[in-house]
Amino acid sequence: MEIIPKVHLIPGITANPYLIIEPDGLTLIDAGLPGSHKKILRYMAGLGYAPKGLKRIIITHSDFDHIGGLAALKAATGARVFASAIEAQAMVEGHASRPLKPRSALTRLLFGLMAGLFKPAPIQADELLSDGQTFPVLGGLRVVETPGHTPGHISLFSSSVGILFCGDSIVSEKTGMRGSTGANNWDQAKSDESVRRQAGLGARVVCSGHGPVVMDAAGKFPQI
Ligand SMILES: [Zn+2]
């Protein structure tokens, strides 16, 4: 599903993966739950791209619903994988990048079940990302460190296009955008600070890891 020219949301996958099309190849942001690689490759094929057309995969953070399809995708495409140092370490070790904080025995049980059910294959990133690094896509797609949901969470922002890919640092819901909160949020103060930082970027389109894409985003950021 094309959001704006050159940017697609690949539908039917948890969490939302975004595909960016440039003349030199494709860039994917996040890789969905385990098994999502098939849907991603099918979507690329629908646009006329062979698996080798995928040049890079950028990971916002290492939660299982963002890196589940990553190992299989890398094997099928040869794409280079980019992540922050903290998230890359968790990806290699095959666990979440921060402890979860279940408030009840039931949530604890649920987290345990999901971690077992959706365990992503460990994978090594090819390059580590830090704040300010820029990819040659969408007129310059800049890494913005947005810790809080996880310690090494990053977002990606193109000022020329006005588009922000915010992973789980901002959740989009029918009622609007909200910051990351709750049992899977690593640090609330850092989370809030990251939302404020992103609200100041001037993004017109916000692409979150969960929920609908937000168009005309100015003025719609959570007031924290
Ligand atoms: Zn997450």
pLDDT at 120: 84
Taking a C-beta distance cutoff of 8 angstroms, is the pair 30, 19 a contact?
no
Residue among 51, 46, 40, 49 nearest 13 (CA): 40
pLDDT at 111: 75
Question: How would you write the pLDDT of the chain (224 residues) with one tens digit per residue?
Answer: 999 999 999 999 999 999 999 998 999 999 999 999 999 999 999 999 999 999 999 999 999 999 999 999 999 999 999 999 999 999 999 888 998 877 787 877 777 777 777 788 899 999 999 999 999 999 999 999 999 999 999 999 999 999 999 999 999 998 899 999 988 899 999 999 999 999 999 999 999 999 999 999 999 999 98
Q: List beta partners, residue 89.
A: none
Residue 164, phi then psi, degrees to nearest 5: -120, 125
Cα–ligand 1 centroid distance for 168 (angstroms): 5
Which amino acid, residue 148? G
Cβ neighbours for 156, distance < 8 A, ≥ 6 positions apart: 29, 58, 60, 135, 141, 142, 143, 144, 164, 165
Cα–ligand 1 centroid distance for 102 (angstroms): 15
pLDDT at 95: 87
What are the C-alpha distances in Å from 18 to residues 10, 26, 57, 119, 215? Answer: 6, 10, 10, 22, 15
Cα–ligand 1 centroid distance for 48 (angstroms): 31
